[in-house]
Amino acid sequence: MKIFRKLRLHELLYNKKDKRLAAAIKLMVGSKPLNLSLFKLAVRHSSAAEEIKHGVKASNERLEFLGDAVLGAVVAEHLFIKFPYRDEGFLTETRSRIVNRESLNRVGQKIGLSNIVESDLSGKGLYSHKSIYGDTLEALVGAVYLDRGYIFCRHFILTKILSPYFDLDNIITTVTNFKSKIIEWSQRENKEVEFFLKSVTGTQRFKEFTIELKIEDEIFTEGTGSTKKKAEQEAAKNACEKLKLAL
Amino acid sequence: MKIFRKLRLHELLYNKKDKRLAAAIKLMVGSKPLNLSLFKLAVRHSSAAEEIKHGVKASNERLEFLGDAVLGAVVAEHLFIKFPYRDEGFLTETRSRIVNRESLNRVGQKIGLSNIVESDLSGKGLYSHKSIYGDTLEALVGAVYLDRGYIFCRHFILTKILSPYFDLDNIITTVTNFKSKIIEWSQRENKEVEFFLKSVTGTQRFKEFTIELKIEDEIFTEGTGSTKKKAEQEAAKNACEKLKLAL
């Protein structure tokens, strides 16, 4: 098997479509796939799933489950080593800024997954495939892990995903807890700061919260976000800027 | 460094307490630690944390963050390979049955972490250290990972945690969705099945839900659990048994 792989004899069996996929994977991952079928599966969105057995459909969802876990572990280790003096709350928050649907979706698009994803999204609402590239990116990580093992996969994640597409310094700045900054300030200055939920708009799945920050009962800033917490952070950040607090 | 480790010269520097810890780790992990300081940190609960730098305390919480991620990845891969025809919903649910606070706590106690954990729980409520052994088990996984790498750590997890302490067959049976079983039955038999929340007791953090399952408006079974979903499952399971439905 090893010699077969070394000589890349399996590539002789590739059809045109396979060759195209293998070339695309090489660009993204840094080397050609050993087991192309893993990557064929990784780029197959559930909307284009094939029934392989009675009631069992083959799509990238299982690989996504695996890739999500491997990605979580690799990013955890990276942050653990990079920030030896930060507590687990900081590590958890920083990781969730990296590994979340929005950012993975963005990266998935940037590395060109839109060119190779197989999907059938006709007749589906916009939201049902909003995270298709992020999901596929996770599935790709799962495929790389199974194809090449942990060490290779870790290297792939760190050099091809994390380092080019995430500005850690920037992420860390925003992990700064603006809410606690403004509360510290209020205690120092002896002012009363309060957060009020002004409105919630959007659909069930994609809500937008608007928070008002009041200082001494007067509206000082506002913030919006997809969660109450994010909206509060945004409002607090705006207040910090307005008050010219050093961050 | 390698020869130093090979000859185990570092063990000459162990004091009595170190020797005891190294021996305990050997029993749990299967081989002696290379870097004992990782394990010293892993067994230090936050209640017994040492201040190592202004405002920075050294406890096992950071290692717990790392170990949690590694454990998640290893269990994900194990289930992915073991159940090639099950969907990601099943994999996710099965993993959460394995990697959860209660079960990790139980395993942590069973492998003897209570003998080596350093904690200072005087004056703390019972609940604040309820998951101390589960947390320490995760920290131990993190320490093994850093000490020996992924392959060794995966082997440790599979052979020393998963295989001896988790009965996968049993877990899978309970992952069977009893609620959907009973709903299928109701549709087949044309009976009306409903779930009612009867009561919620306990404290804010440790609630107990009781659910009544009614068939044709008559109470048929009851179930309790720490979440509404679990209580429903329990009620549905009891109903399946009472109705002698094949599972």
Q: Chain A: residue nearest B142 by CA?
A: A77
Looking at B174, B202, B223, the residue that finishes a domain is B174
Same domain, residue pair B142 and B194 = no
In this complex, which of B56, B65, B91 lies closest to A91 when CB atoms are compared? B65
Q: Name the active-site residue from B138, B147, B232, B234.
A: B138
Q: Is B87 noted as a catalytic residue in this protein?
A: no
Residue A49 with chain B: CB contacts under 8 Å: none
| Confidence band for B72, pLDDT divided at 50, 70 and 90 | very high
Contact B150 A145 (CB under 8 A): no
| Domain assignment present for A11 | yes
Say which DSSP state B49 is in.
P
pLDDT on residue B205: 67
pLDDT on residue B237: 84
Q: Is B68 noted as a catalytic residue in this protein?
A: yes
Which residues, including other chains, have CB under 8 Å from residue B160's CB and lie 6 or more apart? B28, B29, B30, B111
Q: Does A183 touch chain B (CB under 8 A)?
A: no
Cite the annotated binding site of A for Mg(2+) by residue number: 64, 135, 138
Give the domain range for residue B153: 2-174
| Domain assignment present for B238 | yes
Q: Evaluate the CA torsion angle A143, A147, A150, A153 in order and state its sign.
A: negative
Label each residue of B122-146 as H, E or C. CCCCHHHHCCHHHHHHHHHHHHHHH
As a whole number of Å, the CA-based R_g of chain A is: 23
CA distance B80 to A134: 20
Mean pLDDT, rounded, for B214-218 = 91
Same domain, residue pair A75 and A165 = yes
* DSSP conformation letters of A45-108: -GGGPEEEETTEEE-THHHHHHHHHHHHHHHHHHHHHH-TTS-HHHHHHHHHHHSSHHHHHHHH
Same domain, residue pair B113 and B188 = no
Q: Does B76 touch chain A (CB under 8 A)?
A: yes
Share of chain B above pLDDT 90, in %: 48
Among B20, B158, B207, B177, CA closest to B89 = B177
| Confidence band for A205, pLDDT divided at 50, 70 and 90 | low
Q: Does A51 touch chain B (CB under 8 A)?
A: no
Same domain, residue pair A170 and A188 = no
* DSSP conformation letters of B98-126: HSSHHHHHHHHHHTTGGGT-B---TT--G
Same domain, residue pair A136 and A195 = no
CB-based contacts of B44-50 (< 8 A; 24+ apart in sequence): B44/B118, B45/B117, B45/B118, B45/B119, B45/B120, B45/B121, B45/B129, B45/B132, B45/B135, B45/B136, B47/B119, B47/B120, B47/B121, B47/B124, B47/B129, B48/B118, B48/B119, B48/B120
CATH number assigned to the domain comprising residue A203:
3.30.160.20
- Say which residue, A8 or A139, is predicted with more confidence: A139
| Domain assignment present for B180 | yes
pLDDT on residue A4: 63
CATH number assigned to the domain comprising residue A23:
1.10.1520.10
| Confidence band for A124, pLDDT divided at 50, 70 and 90 | low
Same domain, residue pair A72 and A96 = yes
The angle at the Cα of A26, spanning A23 to A28, to the nearest 5 degrees, equals 115
Q: Are the beta carbons of B117 and B105 closer than 8 angstroms?
A: no
Contact B73 A77 (CB under 8 A): no
Looking at B174, B201, B223, the residue that finishes a domain is B174
Same domain, residue pair B118 and B210 = no
Same domain, residue pair B16 and B65 = yes
| Domain assignment present for A247 | no
| Domain assignment present for A161 | yes
pLDDT at B35 over 80: yes
pLDDT on residue A131: 86
Identity of the amino acid at A46: S
pLDDT tens for A57-110 read: 788 999 999 999 999 999 999 999 999 988 888 899 899 889 988 899 999 999
Same domain, residue pair B159 and B180 = no
Mean pLDDT, rounded, for B219-225 = 90
Choosing among A37, A50, A53, A62, which should be mutated to test the B contact, i.e. which has the most B CBs within 10 A?
A: A62
| Domain assignment present for A186 | yes
Contact A85 B56 (CB under 8 A): yes
Residue A69 with chain B: CB contacts under 8 Å: 69, 72-73, 75-77
Residue A35 with chain B: CB contacts under 8 Å: none
Residue A75 with chain B: CB contacts under 8 Å: 69
| Confidence band for A246, pLDDT divided at 50, 70 and 90 | low
Average pLDDT of chain B is 86
pLDDT tens for B89-148 read: 889 989 988 998 889 999 999 999 988 888 887 655 544 567 899 999 999 999 999 999
Q: Does A85 touch chain B (CB under 8 A)?
A: yes
Mean pLDDT, rounded, for A43-52 = 82
Specify the residue for token string 């290893």.
B74
Contact A72 B77 (CB under 8 A): no
pLDDT at B48 over 90: no
Contact A76 B53 (CB under 8 A): no
Same domain, residue pair B186 and B122 = no
Q: Chain B: residue nearest A149 by CA?
A: B151
Same domain, residue pair B31 and B147 = yes
Mean pLDDT, rounded, for B14-18 = 90
pLDDT on residue B184: 82
Q: Does A61 touch chain B (CB under 8 A)?
A: yes
Q: Which two tokens stand for residue B90?
A: 């099943």
pLDDT on residue B33: 92
End-to-end CA distance of chain B: 57
Q: Name the active-site residue from B50, B68, B234, B241.
A: B68
3-class secondary structure, B223: strand
| Domain assignment present for A33 | yes
CA distance B80 to B92: 10
Looking at A118, A148, A174, the residue that finishes a domain is A174
Q: Does A76 touch chain B (CB under 8 A)?
A: yes
Residue B15: which H helix or E strand, with range? none
Residue B64 with chain A: CB contacts under 8 Å: 88
Structural domain tally of chain A?
2
Q: Are the beta carbons of B171 and B93 closer than 8 angstroms?
A: no
| Confidence band for A222, pLDDT divided at 50, 70 and 90 | very high
Same domain, residue pair B134 and B235 = no
CA distance B215 to B232: 14
pLDDT at A125 over 70: no
Residue B58: which H helix or E strand, with range? strand B56-58
Q: Does B70 touch chain A (CB under 8 A)?
A: yes
Q: Does B54 touch chain A (CB under 8 A)?
A: no
- Say which residue, B166 or B121, is predicted with more confidence: B166
| Confidence band for A170, pLDDT divided at 50, 70 and 90 | confident
Query: From the DSSP assignment, how many helices (H) and strands (E) are in chain A?
Result: 12, 5
Choosing among A35, A66, A146, A155, which should be mutated to test the B contact, i.e. which has the most B CBs within 10 A?
A: A66
pLDDT on residue A73: 97
| Domain assignment present for B247 | no
**In this predicted complex, what is the ipTM?**
0.72
Residue A85 with chain B: CB contacts under 8 Å: 53, 56
Q: Does A65 touch chain B (CB under 8 A)?
A: yes
List B194's β-bridge partners, or say none.
B214
Which residues, including other chains, have CB under 8 Å from residue B46's CB and lie 6 or more apart? B57, B59, B60, B61
| Confidence band for B175, pLDDT divided at 50, 70 and 90 | low
pLDDT on residue A63: 96
